[in-house]
Amino acid sequence: MKRGNFFVVQNQIFDFKLSPIAFYVYCYLCKCRNKKSGCYPSKQTIASACGIAVSSVSKAIKQLSKTYYCYKKLQRRKANQ
């Protein structure tokens, strides 16, 4: 199926009264995810795409982690990859 120019967010996300930045980050993650494996952009990638500071991304992810709609997964990468 061809991917369209839209993405879906869960209606329940509005029940959590997220900050505007946390909601923006959540929407970006929804845009990036795929049905099988989710998405794993770095904080720097999210910050660049959203036009916000990495520290703001960290705060947003912390807030989103409390909703259970988003969680952090640490990934170790080899040098030069």
**Which segment, 30-34, 52-56, 63-67, is predicted with the most confidence on average?**
52-56
Taking only the tens place, the pLDDT of each residue in 69-79 is 676 766 666 65
Q: Could you give phi then psi for residue 79, rounded to 5 degrees?
A: -60, 145
Taking only the tens place, the pLDDT of each residue in 11-53 is 888 888 899 999 999 999 988 888 777 788 999 999 999 999 9
Taking Cα atoms as reference points, which of 8, 46, 4, 41 lies closest to residue 25?
A: 46
Helix H, strand E, coil C: the string for 12-71 is HHHHHCCCHHHHHHHHHHHHHCECCCECCCCHHHHHHHHCCCHHHHHHHHHHHHCCCCCC
> What structural domains does the chain harbor?
12-65 (1.10.10)
The pTM of the full predicted model, rounded to 2 decimals, is: 0.77
